[in-house]
A and B are shown apart, each in its own frame.
Chain A
Amino acid sequence: MTDNLDATDPRTLPGFFDALADGTLLGGVCTDCEQVLLPPRPACYACGSRAVDVEPQAREGQVFSYTAVHTPPPGFAADAPYTIAVVELADGGRLLGRVAADYADVAIGDSVELTVRELTAAEREVALDYEVDWPVHVFEPR
């Protein structure tokens, strides 16, 4: 089994978000089947292997699918409607995130780049204690 995990290990969420706060997107990469895991985790969902390396991932990618949220959860109401997308990153992993563009200005295949910001005051209010310092990623059109 995996060696002891602690909160500095990027296969845990605190470790992953610490790196993201510094601008580094870390992914797990299965050494058996090469599946990319975002965020990193102790085991590969594709093949079950626990031989997962952690490697920096490209921040550039393309929109795989997208929509806009018109009926937001409380805490996000002031931002609506806002665009979200599933982005296929250049290193092969797929990640969901906000897109800093109007829905009408986005299309499948658009190039985007991952950026990172701190939580807004409204997001802070709905964050759990341990999430307050975790950044949020946003995809910027390129």
Chain B
Amino acid sequence: MPEPVIASVGASPLGRTDLPGRDLFSVALAEAFDGLPDPADLVEAVYVGNQSESYEHQIMHGTLLAEWAGLRYVPAERVEGCAAAGALALRHAVKDVRNGEHEAVLACGVEKMTSAGTSGATDALSAAFDRAIEQRSGVTAPSQYALLAQRYLHETDATERDLAEIAVKNHANAARNPRAQFPEEIDVATVLESDPVAPPLKLFDCAPVGDGAAAVLVTTAELAADLDRPQVRVAGSGASANNIAVAERDMTDIAGARIAAETAYEEANIDATAVDIAEVHDAFTVCEALLAEAVGFAPPGTGYQSHRAPAERADGWTDVQLSPSGGLKARGHPIGATGILQALEAYEQLTGAAGDRAVEGAETALLLNEGGVADAVTVGHVLTTAEAR
């Protein structure tokens, strides 16, 4: 079975931009193909992660972006799974290469979230929740995660201050990431004193709305070597859907995330202790705490210590470093592109291209991308250096 690798990555600027989605994609693609043959000479299929047509009144992103890349008559499709769309696109590309169907597949993601203001983004994101009960009760993405946070604070020793510390840590990481939407350090008081969005979550507990596109080229190891590209192995991939309604799930044991991660670990023949860095879906600070527990980094009830140095965490924690990019919180969260941005961060970390934010000795990364609230859908990938076999 061919082994899929990531052979190149690229991204657009993140945040409030003056470019529509297709143009953001063109910027990301240009970076990914810098020094490579043109996409038309390499790419055999395209998958595009994209959340919502409401931002630009545009679907058919497979067709559109393939065309803008100069590709004609290739299979190309949009993949939808709210904020997990990017990792779902990556997973499709990985499977195509694994099963021998294609040698080079473009996995990308794009979202133009700033087109209709905060209210437009709030409305578009609410479509990810159950229409019959949840949407008609007026839920929003922050309020859905606030229900998890309230429960987490009730069941564990964690405090709002602990959640604030996660935001502070991720902003500090983003301050060393030239791609970050918010490359500024903040302090705990800034988080705790920010406006309530959905208590206990405040503005600085929440990932921002922003535009962005990202692209990764998934190829066989042989093709990446022929192209003389640094390569990162995609050693494992797992995905899992759980109930759409948050009320019908366990709200602090994020089972779908555990299953997606464990599937990816099994394929990679590792366990959680082997993971050096993780880009998890910290759309809200509480997510990093919950996911650290779900994927096996932290004993139950201690995930909120993710902001601490490894030696200062509870017994049973691994030495993993979480969200070295700054995470969704501070690197940015252009919904459909986020799963691809996570892969981009791991590629740069594992190929020695992460500059000031490089995590020393990192050889194995876990990516965890969620859609809907929490584990409505989760995609996990294990990436490793070419040497770590």
Q: Tell me, yes or no, whether A116 is within 8 Å of chain B by CB.
A: no
A45: chain B residues within 8 A (beta carbon)? 243, 248
B 130-142 binary contact with A (CB < 8 Å = 1; else 0): 0011111111101
What is the CB-to-nearest-CB distance from B207 to chain A, in angstroms, rounded to a whole number?
A: 14
11 pairs from A and B in contact (CB 8 Å cutoff):
A38-B133, A64-B251, A67-B149, A67-B200, A68-B198, A69-B139, A73-B135, A82-B138, A96-B137, A131-B136, A136-B136
Q: Is the CB of A65 within 8 A of B148?
A: yes
B273: chain A residues within 8 A (beta carbon)? none
What is the CB-to-nearest-CB distance from B104 to chain A, in angstroms, rounded to a whole number?
A: 39
A94: chain B residues within 8 A (beta carbon)? 247-248
Q: Tell me, yes or no, whether B351 is within 8 Å of chain A by CB.
A: no
Query: In the complex, how many residue pairs between chain A and chain B have their CB atoms under 8 Å apart?
Result: 105
Chain B residue nearest in CB terms to A109? B154
Chain A residue nearest in CB terms to B149? A67
Q: Tell me, yes or no, whether A13 is within 8 Å of chain B by CB.
A: yes
Task: Give A residues with C-beta under 8 Å from B.
Answer: 13, 16, 37-39, 45, 64-74, 76-77, 79, 81-82, 84-87, 94-98, 103, 108, 123, 127, 131, 134, 136
Q: How far is the CA of A136 from the CA of B143 in the complex (A)?
A: 18
Q: Is the CB of B140 within 8 A of A69?
A: yes
Sorted nearest first, the 7 A-B pairs with minimum C-beta distance are A67-B146, A76-B138, A94-B247, A65-B151, A86-B247, A65-B147, A96-B247
The residue that B147 contacts in the complex, of A39, A77, A79, A86, with Cβ under 8 A, is A86
What is the CB-to-nearest-CB distance from A104 to chain B, in angstroms, rounded to a whole number?
A: 9
Chain B residue nearest in CB terms to A45? B243
Chain B residue nearest in CB terms to A134? B136
Q: Would A74 and B123 be within 8 Å (CB), given that A69-B139, A82-B138 are in contact?
A: yes
Task: Give B residues with C-beta under 8 Å from A.
Answer: 118-119, 122-123, 126, 132-140, 142-143, 146-151, 154, 195-201, 243, 245-248, 251
B132: chain A residues within 8 A (beta carbon)? 13, 16, 39
Q: Is the CB of B198 within 8 A of A72?
A: no
Chain A residue nearest in CB terms to B145? A67
Q: Is the CB of A84 within 8 A of B142?
A: no
Q: Is the CB of B246 within 8 A of A96?
A: yes
A73: chain B residues within 8 A (beta carbon)? 119, 122-123, 126, 135, 138, 140
Chain A residue nearest in CB terms to B200? A67
Q: Is the CB of A86 within 8 A of B136?
A: no
Q: A65-B151, A67-B198, A79-B138 are in contact. List 4 more A-B contacts (CB 8 A).
A: A64-B151, A69-B139, A73-B135, A86-B247
B151: chain A residues within 8 A (beta carbon)? 64-65, 108
The residue that B195 contacts in the complex, of A67, A70, A85, A87, with Cβ under 8 A, is A70
Q: Would A72 and B150 be within 8 Å (CB), given that A67-B143, A95-B133 are in contact?
A: no
Q: Is the CB of A96 within 8 A of B245?
A: yes
B135: chain A residues within 8 A (beta carbon)? 73
Q: Is the CB of A74 within 8 A of B119?
A: yes
Q: Is the CB of B137 within 8 A of A86?
A: no
Q: How far is the CA of A136 from the CA of B133 in the complex (A)?
A: 8
What is the CB-to-nearest-CB distance from A95 to chain B, in angstroms, rounded to a whole number?
A: 6
The residue that A67 contacts in the complex, of B147, B243, B245, with Cβ under 8 A, is B147
What is the CB-to-nearest-CB distance from A134 to chain B, in angstroms, rounded to a whole number?
A: 8
Q: Would A86 and B251 be within 8 Å (CB), given that A67-B146, A69-B198 are in contact?
A: yes
What is the CB-to-nearest-CB distance from A57 to chain B, in angstroms, rounded to a whole number?
A: 13
What is the CB-to-nearest-CB distance from B306 to chain A, in angstroms, rounded to a whole number?
A: 21
Which of A77, A84, A87 has the largest count of B CB atoms less than 10 A from its CB? A84
Q: Would A84 and B195 be within 8 Å (CB), given that A65-B147, A94-B248 are in contact?
A: no
